[in-house]
Chains A and B, each alone.
Chain A
Amino acid sequence: MDGEELTEQETALYDRQIRVWGPNAQRRLTKSHILVSGIKGTVAEFCKNIVLAGVGSVTLMDDRLVNEEALNANFLIPPDENAYTGKTVAEICCDSLRDFNPMVHVSVEKGDLSTFGAEFFEKFDVVVIGYGTRVIKKSVNEQCRKLSKRVAFYTVDCRDSCGEIFVDLQNYKYTKKKLEETVECELNYPSFQEAISVPWKPIPRRTAKLYFAMRVIEVFEESEGRKHGECSLLDRAKVLEIKKKLCEANSVSESHIPDNLLERLITGHTEFPPACAIVGGILAQEVIKAVSGKGDPLKNFFYFDAQDGKGVMEDISDSFTS
């Protein structure tokens, strides 16, 4: 297929997974370039998974200095103060990840994601935003969409024992085996902006409550100028007020979003490592699918909640209104 064969070394190392997705998919993986911004527990899990899978390169962005909080669910940071003082999260994680698989090129990019232009994003096949404001997510998504090549765009957000993944593959064509024949499939994804501004009223009631709850938190953090996860039970009243407003604006009843779910999301700022492992695992699986062109990709939201144990896909686009 496309270009050179896998080396003997690659075949030996990746033996068990080549048996899952085949040598062609493995070859595509080894040529893919992934940008990851914002490394908390879930993204650390994600990075470990794609580095093990053998992608071509991973570029890490997270200029936070390492502190106690960053250590919480992130096993890429050894808790040795002497080693991490003065270093950024991305730098420390980079060292650990390189060690996992010497065949993957892992590097650090510094700077504010919102200042980068389209020519920067063009270098990548996949962009993952671990945490960031709604504004940043929107603008990066738009930059990616402007490019002539398709850059797969993902955001991931874990709070308490819940997690959300958003996927934008724009126009995505792939093949899959159905019984004995291979069929062509095509999917059209809404942008981040489109997907989070779908009117609520026509969305089926069985849709994961987390979709609505996350939007409330997003609006709250933006309107208060908070950083990601910077909220507590003290903010309960304000959050409920925003929920009320959003529900009214969308003409749905307030029972649409349970209060206790919102409470969990604003109070649980220590990450729950099992949820990080699960959501980071699903995210990596999705990126591997998109890069290798094998398997039905997620469209376009995924939710996990450890409380009921469900991992559910939601397709949320304006198709509900049409």
Chain B
Amino acid sequence: MDTQHQQSALKAAKVLMVGAGGIGCELLKTLALSGFEDIHIIDMDTIEVSNLNRQFLFRRSHVGQSKAKVARDAVLRFRPHINIRSYHANVKNPEFDADFFKQFDVILNGLDNLDARRHVNRLCLAADVPLVESGTTGFLGQVTVHVKGKTECYECQTKPAPKTYPVCTITSTPTKFVHCIVWAKDLLFAKLFGDKNQDNDLNVRSNNSASSSKETEDVFERAEDEDIEQYGRKIYDHVFGYNIETALSNEETWKNRRRPRPIYSKEVLPESLTQQNGSSQNSSVTDGDSMISVMPSLGLKNPQELWGLTQNSLVFIEALKLFFAKRKKEIGHLTFDKDDQLAVEFVTAAANIRAESFGIPLHSLFEAKGIAGNIVHAVATTNAIVAGLIVIEAIKVLKKDVDKYRMTYCLEHPSRKLLLMPVQPFEPNPSCYVCSKTPLVLEINTQKSKLRDLVDKIVKAKLGMNLPLIMHGASLLYEVGDDLDDIMVANYNANLEKHLSELPSPVVNGSILTVEDLQQELSCKINIKHREEFDEEKEPEGMVLSGWTQSPATNGESASTSNNENAIDATDSSSGPEIVTKKRRLSETKPENHKKEAENVESEEDDDLVEIENPMMVSKKKKRVE
């Protein structure tokens, strides 16, 4: 082996790591040990206690400090003479533009969310710098190599959107605990403690719709002098009692369903709680809003314990009381946060009471927190393995050893004896709107949808643009930036509120929009197709974007939402092992699609993948990188 030559290549290389979390800590260590001497690392996060079981460069005393900086200092202790530069910042900040990316020989991602991954992918394409991408969940992991023009980019395959549930399942007919969590978090918590002006489906739609929505709205408003406990009981009785009664009156709904049971506070709670549980004095021991908890005052210690209906009801009332007693200023603009203990307690209790009502098994706070916070399972070993695989690919990239690039899956259960399964990378998808600039098609009602809907639901949410600019022909409809004058800003804001067909340059059936993000250096065309009607349940956004190969529905991969840590596109470890095989079989049955076929991962007989002679493989191989 040309070890000497390789060592000097690594020494001279300048690499950028994005993310100093689970994968990042392992990666920085392995890069330093392997002989890399110029490493830059970006991470916006600070250290938390739940990181310490795997992010081994951090100690308890570091909690609250910058991950990038502490990781740098820790690695310099065993490799003092190398250069590590840390940035405690968001990779989406404008200073990290294509020019910044161009100074590096390779970019290594250890990220925890789809949004940032897409952003980095675009900058790598713009700067023409190779990207090694990675992710882990539990025992599963994956490493891929993305080189412009040679292999597919990160977005050549559409990434499944976070799992969503039909509105009526959440509001009226939950069958799983997760439905109760979504209800408690997105409807009830948001209604009580979040922005009051947001649309909210909390109240059951009853057949006699005249049932004064005015009246029910007022239930959630607390009068100035209203006793908090009375207010809490009123809410309790309304959402767990009255609303269920109302729902039960829709006989049609319950024909083939188990009927829920209305629950009223007087059935489960004593007349008055105030005396025995003066929650206010108990909370004085805590040292921050995120630490406030009702559990000590109720004698609840173990977060893995299952609470009964009474305990959940007590937690519900007491948590609500504490919000008003201790965190009144935040009410009206709170959003659920998995690190907010009181919010987790309230949501757990509310979800459990609802679950009880619908005959769904109750869950512990620990479990409820995992579901509500989309917490991704994470262990040190998978991160260490994936980091090792990233470095191996990074070395090949530096040597421009294109034939040897591999995408590697780390499996929980061996598939054909393999626990680490290398696969040849795929060619770029010719219809990828990111790396091949193929136009997209947007079906939309141009008379009813506003430019704001297009910006929020498509340009930002679907296309992942950070600082978008929208043009119709030569006419500039919208842009964001610091250097705009007031008149322009006013113009753009006015445009946002206009229907597409009423814009200064009307956008109608057949119009072609150009959407650009100057930071990501991404530009794409959207062909507009006017459509009158959309299915409320199936197409809740009221518009449908298509044009690049849509991977066939769901395939076990889902929810890689922005608060996930180290997420590959898999929700839970039990469905995980099937990811690989399922994905492939799906594409095998659809030969016309740009695809990932698994069966040619390896030849059965030979150890050496590069020398496959099986004629069956030839046609498939063509689609792969030569």
**How near does chain A come to B402, taking the closest CB pair, in angstroms?**
15
Q: A11-B366, A79-B78, A308-B607 are in contact. Are A313 and B417 (CB under 8 A)?
A: yes
Q: How far is the CA of A147 from the CA of B124 in the complex (A)?
A: 58
**How near does chain A come to B420, taking the closest CB pair, in angstroms?**
3
Q: How far is the CA of A288 from the CA of B54 in the complex (A)?
A: 14
Q: Which of B363-407 contact A (CB under 8 A)?
A: 366, 370, 375-382, 384-385, 387-389, 391-392, 395, 406
Q: A16-B379, A274-B392, A277-B30 are in contact. Are A311 and B50 (CB under 8 A)?
A: no
18 further A-B contacts with Cβ under 8 Å, apart from A11-B303, A19-B377, A208-B607, are: A14-B53, A17-B53, A19-B370, A20-B573, A49-B381, A53-B381, A75-B32, A160-B1, A274-B388, A274-B392, A277-B391, A278-B388, A281-B381, A281-B388, A306-B392, A311-B419, A312-B419, A314-B417
Q: How far is the CA of A135 from the CA of B406 in the complex (A)?
A: 39
Contacting residues, chain A, for B52 (C-beta < 8 A): 13, 101
Q: Do B50 and A313 have beta carbons less than 8 Å apart? A: no
Q: A16-B379, A49-B381, A285-B139 are in contact. Are A73 and B608 (CB under 8 A)?
A: no
Contacting residues, chain A, for B56 (C-beta < 8 A): 48, 52, 100
Q: A53-B380, A281-B385 are in contact. Are A270 and B420 (CB under 8 A)?
A: no
17 A-B pairs within 8 Å (CB atoms) are namely A12-B50, A13-B52, A16-B375, A49-B381, A75-B78, A101-B52, A102-B60, A267-B1, A273-B34, A273-B391, A274-B392, A278-B389, A280-B384, A306-B392, A310-B421, A312-B419, A312-B420
Q: Do A277 and B384 have beta carbons less than 8 Å apart? A: yes
B537 within 8 A of A: no
**How near does chain A come to B415, taking the closest CB pair, in angstroms?**
10
B413 within 8 A of A: yes
Choice from B50, B78, B381, B420 contacting A77 with Cβ under 8 Å: B78
Q: Do B420 and A20 have beta carbons less than 8 Å apart? A: no
Contacting residues, chain A, for B412 (C-beta < 8 A): 295
**How near does chain B come to A40, taking the closest CB pair, in angstroms?**
12
A199 within 8 A of B: no
Q: A11-B304, A78-B77 are in contact. Are A20 and B379 (CB under 8 A)?
A: yes
Complex interface bits, B347-374 against A, C-beta within 8 A gives 1, otherwise 0:
0000000000000000000100010000
Q: Do B381 and A206 have beta carbons less than 8 Å apart? A: no
Contacting residues, chain A, for B419 (C-beta < 8 A): 282, 302, 311-313
Contacting residues, chain A, for B408 (C-beta < 8 A): 309
Choice from A99, A277, A308 contacting B422 with Cβ under 8 Å: A308
Q: Do A268 and B391 have beta carbons less than 8 Å apart? A: no
**How near does chain A come to B223, taking the closest CB pair, in angstroms?**
39
What is the chain A residue whose CB lies nearest that of B302?
A5
Contacting residues, chain B, for A302 (C-beta < 8 A): 419
Complex interface bits, A276-316 against B, C-beta within 8 A gives 1, otherwise 0:
11101110110010000001100000101010111111100
A152 within 8 A of B: no
Choice from B54, B301, B385 contacting A16 with Cβ under 8 Å: B54
Contacting residues, chain B, for A119 (C-beta < 8 A): none
Contacting residues, chain B, for A205 (C-beta < 8 A): 605
**How near does chain B come to A72, taking the closest CB pair, in angstroms?**
8
What is the chain B residue whose CB lies nearest that of A45?
B384
Q: How far is the CA of A304 from the CA of B384 in the complex (A)?
A: 14
Q: Do A206 and B388 have beta carbons less than 8 Å apart? A: no
Q: Which of B261-298 contact A (CB under 8 A)?
A: none
Q: How far is the CA of A277 from the CA of B30 in the complex (A)?
A: 7
Q: Do B78 and A16 have beta carbons less than 8 Å apart? A: no
Contacting residues, chain A, for B34 (C-beta < 8 A): 272-274
Contact residues of B with A, CB < 8 Å? 1, 3, 26, 29-30, 32-34, 49-50, 52-54, 56, 59-60, 77-80, 138-139, 301-304, 366, 370, 375-382, 384-385, 387-389, 391-392, 395, 406, 408, 412-414, 417-422, 565, 573, 602, 604-605, 607-609
Contacting residues, chain A, for B301 (C-beta < 8 A): 8
**How near does chain A come to B273, taking the closest CB pair, in angstroms?**
25
Q: How far is the CA of A312 from the CA of B53 in the complex (A)?
A: 27
Q: How far is the CA of A52 from the CA of B379 in the complex (A)?
A: 9
Q: Do A23 and B420 have beta carbons less than 8 Å apart? A: no
**How near does chain A come to B152, taking the closest CB pair, in angstroms?**
18
**How near does chain A come to B55, taking the closest CB pair, in angstroms?**
9
| 9 shortest interchain CB distances as A-B pairs | A311-B420, A277-B388, A309-B422, A273-B33, A281-B385, A278-B388, A274-B388, A281-B384, A274-B391
Q: A15-B50, A75-B78, A296-B413 are in contact. Are A282 and B385 (CB under 8 A)?
A: yes
A264 within 8 A of B: yes
Q: How far is the CA of A54 from the CA of B301 in the complex (A)?
A: 21
Q: Do B377 and A281 have beta carbons less than 8 Å apart? A: no
**How near does chain A come to B53, taking the closest CB pair, in angstroms?**
5
**How near does chain B come to A46, taking the closest CB pair, in angstroms?**
9
A209 within 8 A of B: yes
**How near does chain B come to A164, taking the closest CB pair, in angstroms?**
14
Q: Do A274 and B389 have beta carbons less than 8 Å apart? A: yes
A275 within 8 A of B: yes
What is the chain A residue whose CB lies nearest that of B370?
A19
Contacting residues, chain B, for A45 (C-beta < 8 A): 384
**How near does chain A come to B383, taking the closest CB pair, in angstroms?**
8
Q: How far is the CA of A285 from the CA of B410 in the complex (A)?
A: 12
Q: How far is the CA of A276 from the CA of B422 in the complex (A)?
A: 18
**How near does chain A come to B565, taking the closest CB pair, in angstroms?**
8
What is the chain A residue whose CB lies nearest that of B395?
A274
Q: How far is the CA of A308 from the CA of B403 in the complex (A)?
A: 11
Q: Do A308 and B609 have beta carbons less than 8 Å apart? A: yes
Q: Do A278 and B607 have beta carbons less than 8 Å apart? A: no
**How near does chain B come to A154, taking the closest CB pair, in angstroms?**
14
Q: Do B1 and A49 have beta carbons less than 8 Å apart? A: no
Q: How far is the CA of A16 from the CA of B375 in the complex (A)?
A: 8
Q: Do B1 and A268 have beta carbons less than 8 Å apart? A: yes
Q: Do B378 and A12 have beta carbons less than 8 Å apart? A: no
Choice from B29, B79, B382 contacting A79 with Cβ under 8 Å: B79
Contacting residues, chain A, for B395 (C-beta < 8 A): 274
Contacting residues, chain A, for B414 (C-beta < 8 A): 313
What is the chain A residue whose CB lies nearest that of B33?
A273
**How near does chain A come to B566, taking the closest CB pair, in angstroms?**
9
**How near does chain B come to A129, taking the closest CB pair, in angstroms?**
20
Q: Do B380 and A49 have beta carbons less than 8 Å apart? A: yes
Q: How far is the CA of A313 from the CA of B411 in the complex (A)?
A: 12
Q: How far is the CA of A275 from the CA of B609 in the complex (A)?
A: 20
Q: Do A52 and B380 have beta carbons less than 8 Å apart? A: yes
Q: A75-B29, A273-B391, A313-B414 are in contact. Are A15 and B384 (CB under 8 A)?
A: no
Contacting residues, chain B, for A311 (C-beta < 8 A): 418-421
Q: How far is the CA of A311 from the CA of B139 in the complex (A)?
A: 14
Q: Do A54 and B53 have beta carbons less than 8 Å apart? A: yes
**How near does chain A come to B224, taking the closest CB pair, in angstroms?**
39
Q: Do B385 and A277 have beta carbons less than 8 Å apart? A: yes
**How near does chain B come to A128, taking the closest CB pair, in angstroms?**
14
Q: Do A308 and B608 have beta carbons less than 8 Å apart? A: yes
Q: Do A73 and B385 have beta carbons less than 8 Å apart? A: no
Interface centre among A78, A264, A267, A311 (most CB of B within 10 A): A311
What is the chain B residue whose CB lies nearest that of A260?
B1
Interface centre among B395, B414, B565 (most CB of A within 10 A): B414
Q: A17-B53, A79-B80, A311-B419 are in contact. Are A206 and B604 (CB under 8 A)?
A: yes
Q: How far is the CA of A309 from the CA of B425 in the complex (A)?
A: 13
Contacting residues, chain A, for B139 (C-beta < 8 A): 20, 285, 295
**How near does chain A come to B605, taking the closest CB pair, in angstroms?**
7
Q: Do B388 and A275 have beta carbons less than 8 Å apart? A: yes
